[in-house]
Amino acid sequence: MENFEPEIVAFCCHYCAYTAADMAGSKRISYPSNVKIIRVPCTGKVDAIHLMKALEKGADGVYVAGCLAGDCHFKNGNFRAEARVNRVKKILTELGWEPERVAMFNMSAGMGEQFAKIAREFTETIIKLGPGPGKRTGATDRAAS
Amino acid sequence: MNTESRLEKILTSGELAVTSECGPPRGARPEKVKEKAALLKDHVDGINVTDNQTAMVRMSSFAAGIIIKQMGLDPIMQMVSRDRNRLAMQSDIIGAYAFGINTMLCLSGDHAKFGDHPMAKGVFDIDSVQMISMVRRMRDEETFQGGAKIDGAPKMFIGAAANPFADPFELRVMRLAKKVKAGVDFIQTQCIFNLDKFEAWMKGVTERGLDEKVHILAGITPMKSVGMARYMKNKVPGMDIPDAVIKRLEGVSKEQQPEEGIKMAVESIERIKQIKGVHGFHIMAIEWEEKVPQIVEQAGLYPRPKV
Amino acid sequence: MITAEQKPMQEIIQYIAPYRKILLVGCNECVTVCAAGGRKEVGLLASALHLNHLKQGKTIDIKEITLERQCDPEYVEELAPYIDGVDAVVSMACGCGVQTIAGRYKKSPVFPAVNTRFMGASLGQGVWAERCKGCGDCVLGITGGICPVARCSKHLFNGPCGGTSNGQCEIGPETDCAWRLIWERLKELGMESRYEDLMNAKDWRPGGAAGPGKIIREDLA
pLDDT digit string, tens, across residues C90-146: 999 999 999 999 999 999 999 999 999 999 999 999 999 999 999 999 999 999 999
pLDDT per position as a tens digit, A41-64: 999 999 999 999 999 999 999 999
Cα nearest neighbour of B238 on chain C: C163
Its pTM stands at 0.92
The answer to whether B21 and B274 have CB atoms below 8 angstroms apart is: no
What does the alpha-carbon distance between residue B244 and residue B55 come to, in Å, rounded to a whole number?
30
Residues C34-63 have a mean pLDDT of 96
Q: What's the pLDDT band for A142 if we cut at 50, 70, 90?
A: very low
Closest CA–CA distance from residue B152 to any residue of chain C (Å): 23
Contacts of A47 in chain C (CB under 8 A): 40
Contacts of C40 in chain A (CB under 8 A): 47, 49
What does the alpha-carbon distance between residue A140 and residue B4 come to, in Å, rounded to a whole number?
86
Question: Running DSSP on this structure, what letter comes out for residue B143?
Answer: B
- SS3 state of residue C128: strand
Of the ranges A119-123, B50-54, B231-235, C27-31, which one carries the lowest mean pLDDT score? B231-235
What does the alpha-carbon distance between residue B299 and residue B270 come to, in Å, rounded to a whole number?
7
Q: What's the pLDDT band for A137 if we cut at 50, 70, 90?
A: low
pLDDT per position as a tens digit, B16-26: 999 999 999 99
Q: Which percentage of chain C shows pLDDT scores above 90?
A: 96
Question: Could you say which of B82, B129, B163 has the minimum Cβ distance to residue C162?
Answer: B163
- pLDDT value at B185 more than 90: yes
| Touch between chain C and chain A: 3 or more Cβ pairs under 8 Å | yes
Contacts of B136 in chain C (CB under 8 A): none
The H-or-E segment that residue C110 falls in is strand C110-112
Contacts of C52 in chain A (CB under 8 A): 95-96
- Rounded to two decimals, the ipTM of the complex is 0.94
B105 - beta bridge partners?
Answer: B78, B159
Strand C127-132 relative to strand C110-112, pairing: unpaired
- SS3 state of residue B5: coil
Is the peptide bond between B222 and the residue preceding it cis, with omega within 30 degrees of 0? no
Q: Across the interface, do B111 and C200 touch by the CB < 8 Å criterion? A: no
Q: Across the interface, do A94 and C9 touch by the CB < 8 Å criterion? A: yes
Cα nearest neighbour of C161 on chain B: B108
What does the alpha-carbon distance between residue C106 and residue C100 come to, in Å, rounded to a whole number?
10
Q: Would an 8 Å CB–CB cutoff place A79 in contact with chain C? A: no
What does the alpha-carbon distance between residue B222 and residue B206 come to, in Å, rounded to a whole number?
27
The b-or-e profile of A101-126 (16+ CB within 10 A means b, else e) is bbbbbbbebebbebbbbbbeebbebb
The answer to whether B1 and B12 have CB atoms below 8 angstroms apart is: yes
CB pairs under 8 A between B and C: 100
Strand C88-91 relative to strand C21-27, pairing: parallel
What does the alpha-carbon distance between residue C5 and residue C8 come to, in Å, rounded to a whole number?
9
**Rg of chain A in Å (alpha carbons):** 15
Contacts of A92 in chain C (CB under 8 A): 51
A37 - beta bridge partners?
Answer: A10
Closest CA–CA distance from residue A80 to any residue of chain C (Å): 11
- pLDDT value at B142 more than 60: yes
- pLDDT value at A144 more than 50: no
- pLDDT value at B292 more than 50: yes
Q: Chains touching chain A at 3 or more Cβ pairs under 8 angstroms?
A: C
pLDDT at B167: 82
- pLDDT value at C23 more than 90: yes
